[in-house]
Structure 1
Amino acid sequence: MKKLILAFAALSFILTSCSNNENDITSEQSKIDMSDFYVYTNADVDETSKLTATKSPIKSCYTMVNLNRLLKENPGLEKKMYDIEYFTRQFIAGKKPTGTPGGGPGGGTTDPIVDTDGDGTPDSSDLCPNEIGPSYNSGCPDNINDYTLTIPLVINIIEKSPGQVTDAQIDSQIAILNIDFDNRNLNKPDDLKIFTGVDADFDIKFTKHIVNRVSSKKKNWGTRDAMKFSSQGGIDATDTSTYLNIWVCEIGRGILGYAQFPGGPEVTDGVVIGPDYFGETGGNYGHGRTVTHEIGHWLNLRHIWGDGGCSDDDFVSDTPSSDGPNYGCPAYPTVNCNSTDMTMNYMDYVYDDCMYMFTNGQKDRASALFAIGGYRYSFVD
């Protein structure tokens, strides 16, 4: 009888524990507030007016205009993006498990230094061995093995003549991406003023998988994804579930680039960049940061001002509110919406040399994509 009583007590404890856990989960889910979520913006009007108002190149990202188009063409996309956002907010609200790729502070693992130069001693000489080339090595030392997620790139180049986009451009762009997403941009001052401690290392490493090239006399490819189809003279995407595809081609109308947010059609998933803004080419927008910006969109990051007024948000807790993009190299502080703008964030529109950081909140949004059940979990080995 005593054993039977103990057995019932144990069963009761288990059932109570399970019930409590279910209540905790239900309670946690009920806290997910989606009332501020939106997908459509005024980007169609805003971006067009910027391009019409100036004859000189300005930072012009057509991602939000592209999103509006895709939403109109794909009736189920809004719901899909809602579900991705819900999952993202659940992920951020909960405790991220240790070892989640790109999973925030404490989320990754730190490997020991590897004896890469073969001298028998794992030391500082083994850090960043030829990782980013002589022009960028001042970002070292960093342990190349610290990365927790590798994203292989498929570079699809549509050029007017063979070699228009050089191998050096390609290598420099990959180097820049690894610097930016590893929080090693040398333009970043030691003193970030009020933003100290907010800047983030994404724990992501980009590698070159393959470069595809075709020649085309087509002057401009526009923004309706024609470059992504061989049937239209472009290059078909390579398995977008495991590779980040980047198309390099003349877009036209002064547009530097555009990307596709998570949830869009798989066959067009990726980033499009004008050749003058891909890698190190010189000029205000010729230092590779357009690709950093567009990959930010591919990682589910909005423009830092939320593509609207002070009440619109980029859904990131540690970026201040603003009512529009910044250009050039703004003076500090630049104040809008009663707060200091984070003009140096990669998701603003300033010159390449004047942007140098992502935030921890932006990293959390990106990390949710690669968590178990996340939209881009297929990239995780």
Structure 2
Amino acid sequence: MKKIILSAFALLFLFSCSNDETSTPTEEKSQLTHDHHRGCASHEVLEEQLRQDPSLAQRMQQIEKFTTEAIRTGKLVNGKIQIPVVVNVLYKTTAENISLAQIQSQIDVLNKDFNATNSDFNQVPATFSAVKANVGISFVLDAVYRKSTTKSSWGTNDAMKKTSTGGIAPTSPTTKLNLWVCTIGGGILGYAQFPGGSSATDGVVIDSKYLGTTGRATAPFNKGRTATHEVGHWMNLRHIWGDATCGSDLVSDTPTHNTANYGIPAFPHYSTCSGTPIEMTMNYMDYTDDAGMYMFSNGQKNRMLSIFASGGARFSFAQP
């Protein structure tokens, strides 16, 4: 059983780890054998937000206390949650102005992945069959906004979310999931804002080359799993390796991972962390290729559902 209660100091340490752009020796080896690997800047962005807003760490610590208690007492959301999605497309080229079909294909993937109707769900090994989850959250496309820009890439400083920097401001961010689609650059596929941050920048950003399953979607990230991964962050999930060697993802039923996994690892892939568990490389919160990730765990499900419970950080999304 993992220790999943963190002090404020430990919470800050967890969020201060480098993202994929700074390679550990293990990551360097992975890069040599797998040129195209997933890059998610969610924790890098969070680290910057924590620097700019010292009160964010305290808010996130309160969210962790609430989450731990909600899971302990079974105070989870009652009934189905349907989340309206507003897609904000920022484009310089015609290719970047992605089609409605590509956008809808992403909504379809989110609905499958969060409801265990994805066709590869049956590939979950027997080792993890007892903990594979149907999260039970659905998504509906609410609106699409498009804006022509002169920017070739947007980076990860939330410029795409602000009209003052040429972006598109979020629509009703306390009741709608805003998803920005643009060219991010720097090898980043996407990033999300964790619960507790400012509503003015709340939502998920996905590079247009890694959204959905058709149109501009580019292999090996053309099965819509980048958004599944990032929406997981938006619902308070951490990377499965805890952004540290043998770190904690604050979930008790996921194995302890050495670090990120890339490509599609052969099963079983053993961790060298305490107990040498088989790593859950097919979990959406690892860094494997889209075809290599196809499950959430029950512990992750409970963690996600707790933020939609009464008093939770995203309770406003669960209102009728």
The TM-score with structure 2 as length reference comes to 0.89
Conserved? CA contact 2:86–2:141, under 8 Å: yes
TM-fit CA distance, 1:85: 0.4
The answer for the alignment partner of 1:344 in structure 2 is: 282
The answer for the alignment partner of 2:137 in structure 1 is: 204
CA 1:46/1:224 → structure 2, altered by over 3 Å: closer, same or farther? closer
The answer for the alignment partner of 1:321 in structure 2 is: 256
TM-fit CA distance, 1:39: 3.3
Which of 238, 241, 253 is 1:302 aligned to?
A: 238
Residue 249 of structure 2 aligns to which amino acid in structure 1?
D
Q: Which runs of 5+ in 2 are unaligned?
A: none
Conserved? CA contact 2:18–2:243, under 8 Å: no
TM-fit CA distance, 1:309: 1.8
| 2:84 counterpart of 1:149 | no
The TM-score with structure 1 as length reference comes to 0.75
TM-fit CA distance, 1:266: 1.1
Which of 38, 55, 58 is 1:59 aligned to?
A: 38
Identify the structure with bigger relative contact order (alpha carbons < 8 Å, sequence gap 6+).
2
Identity of aligned residues (%): 45
Where in structure 2 are the equivalents of 1:161-310 lying within 5 Å? 161=93, 164-189=97-122, 192-280=125-213, 281-310=217-246
Conserved? CA contact 2:19–2:41, under 8 Å: no
| 2:48 counterpart of 1:69 | yes
Residue 39 of structure 1 aligns to which amino acid in structure 2?
L
Residue 304 of structure 1 aligns to which amino acid in structure 2?
I
Q: Distance in 2 between matches of 1:90 and 1:217?
A: 47
Aligned residues: CA RMSD: 2.1
Q: Which runs of 5+ in 1 are unaligned?
A: 1-31, 102-107, 109-147
Larger Rg: 1
Q: Distance in 2 between matches of 1:172 and 1:192?
A: 27
Q: Secondary structure at the match of 2:116?
A: coil
Q: Distance in 2 between matches of 1:191 and 1:59?
A: 21
CA 1:48/1:378 → structure 2, altered by over 3 Å: closer, same or farther? same
Where in structure 2 are the equivalents of 1:26-175 lying within 5 Å? 33-35=5-7, 37-41=10-14, 45-50=18-23, 56-96=35-75, 100-101=77-78, 108=79, 148-161=80-93, 164-175=97-108
Q: Distance in 2 between matches of 1:258 and 1:272?
A: 5
Residue 376 of structure 1 aligns to which amino acid in structure 2?
R
Conserved? CA contact 1:158–1:216, under 8 Å: yes
Q: Distance in 2 between matches of 1:156 and 1:228?
A: 9
